[in-house]
Amino acid sequence: MVLPGSFRENEYLLGDLATPLLRGSHRIVQLTTDGIVSRRHGRLACAIDGIGTSGGGTMTDKVCVVVRLQTKSGREESLRHLMRSLKEKTLQEEGLLRYEPVQSQQDPTLFFLMEEWTSETVLNTHLARPHMERAFSELKTILAAPLEITYCRAVA
């Protein structure tokens, strides 16, 4: 996996799982259950606006990530197990400030993951780790809908 200098200036490779969707002033990355929906320059990639050096921040600014996961009916326990496993490994990583997986009370198939990292560089390193690559592969069998990742910055 290639690690970029910034999300905007370089395309961040997430294997066969990523495609960018423009939403307002930032992009949401959708990881699909059956592979990539679009290609850039003949490679599987995504570029994300709104963070990094081109989005008004720097590689050392804190990065917040909100992930929305919709499971197939009956696969909720599989996702809970995967999230527990990822949390155990991720809590050991340098630069992690927050890692909070939660499940909707209204819809048991809907999960969210809130993460905060000390920098974009640290987040890139996290996403390139072998346990994350395995998790993206496993999600293909668990998810009913594309996984959405929204990159955020604190406003207050």
Neighbours of 105 (CB within 10 A): 7
In a domain, 13, yes or no: no
CATH number at residue 112: 3.30.70.100
Instruction: Give the count of domains, the chain.
Output: 1
pLDDT for position 59: 58
Q: Where in the sequence is the domain holding 55, given as residue range(s)?
A: 18-152
- Look up residue 60 and give its two tokens: 């050392």
Q: What is the spatial distance between Cα 95 and Cα 88, in angstroms, rounded to a whole number? A: 15
Could you identify the residue written with the tokens 């996984």? 147
pLDDT for position 156: 74
pLDDT for position 87: 96
Cβ contacts of 24 within 8 Å, gap of 6 or more:
none
Helix (H) or strand (E) holding 90: helix 76-90
pLDDT for position 34: 38
In a domain, 92, yes or no: yes
In a domain, 108, yes or no: yes
Q: pTM for this one?
A: 0.65
How much is the CA Rg of the chain, to the nearest whole Å?
Answer: 15
Cβ-contact 26, 11 below 8 angstroms: no
In a domain, 81, yes or no: yes
Per-residue pLDDT of the chain (156 residues; tens, 9 = 90+): 333 333 332 233 333 344 343 333 333 444 443 333 222 222 223 333 333 333 444 556 889 999 999 999 999 999 999 999 999 999 999 999 999 999 999 999 999 999 999 999 999 999 999 999 999 999 999 999 988 989 887 777
Q: Sheet containing 26-31: which strands, arranged edge to edge?
A: 18-23, 26-31, 147-152, 63-70, 110-117, 96-103
Cβ-contact 13, 44 below 8 angstroms: yes
